[in-house]
Homo-oligomer: A and B are copies of this chain.
Amino acid sequence: MFSNTSEIIEILGTIAFAISGTFSAMQRKLDVFGVLIIAFVTSVGGGTIRDMLIGDTPVAWMRDVQVCLVILVTSVAAIIFKTYIRKLKVTLFLFDSLGLGLFTVVGLQKGINVGLNPGICIALGTITGCFGGIIRDILLNTIPLIFRREIYATVCIFGGAVYLLLLRFQVNTDISKFMVIAIIVATRIIVVQKQLSFPRMRY
């Protein structure tokens, strides 16, 4: 039915982050338009930074209006169905983690396609996964989630390393992608449920 797994992963990640951006902005009481901008930035931020770093310009969303429409529709839907979705707070968290997993894999694969060093591919995946949220938090003037106590970016790095290992052992690309997304989402859930964090060091 679908011609391209990567495309599906990208659209799903876009939807997941558009929802997370919409809700963050609503919590800060922005007007409707501010909410839409934050949803957009959260969704395309990681991929934009990724494309500017590797010089793949115009950046992805500029070549694909579809992405912009998906974000618009998702964000408006999230605003409308807010009461319903809010009750499903767990669902929202799952979407956010899913976005992180999906975009990390997109970034990883793009790094591999460009022929970057494995370590750099992991960095590119992590940047693609995390930077939308970082920009969102900077714009909303809060300390980025990534720098609070909770384990966040490390999950992407771990997932990236697993992905490269799977490919090295000749596992099918689509299966590897699916496994890594599952690992990232599962790890995030465990981290948040058990409130895991790196040991506070006495610097």
A residues in contact (CB < 8 Å) with B: 26-27, 29-34, 37-38, 48, 52-55, 57-59, 61-62, 65, 68, 79, 82, 114, 116-117, 119-120, 123-124, 134, 138-141, 143-144, 146-147, 149, 151, 153-154, 197-201, 203
CB–CB B139/A141 < 8 A: no
User: Nearest B residue to A123 by beta-carbon distance?
Assistant: B68
Q: Which of B53, B119, B197 contacts A68 (CB 8 A)?
A: B119
Q: Report the minimal beta-carbon distance from A86 to chain B, rounded to whole angstroms.
A: 9
Lowest 3 A-B CB distances belong to which pairs? Answer: A55-B57, A31-B198, A26-B203
CB–CB A147/B58 < 8 A: no
Residues of chain B with a CB closer than 8 A to A55's CB: 55, 57-58
CB–CB B116/A62 < 8 A: yes
Interchain CA distance A4-B59 in the complex, whole Å: 29
CB–CB B119/A58 < 8 A: no
User: Nearest B residue to A203 by beta-carbon distance?
Assistant: B26
Among A29, A32, A34, residue most surrounded by chain B Cβ atoms (within 10 Å): A34
CB–CB B32/A153 < 8 A: no
User: Nearest B residue to A197 by beta-carbon distance?
Assistant: B31
CB–CB B53/A48 < 8 A: yes
Interchain CA distance A153-B35 in the complex, whole Å: 12
User: Nearest B residue to A147 by beta-carbon distance?
Assistant: B34
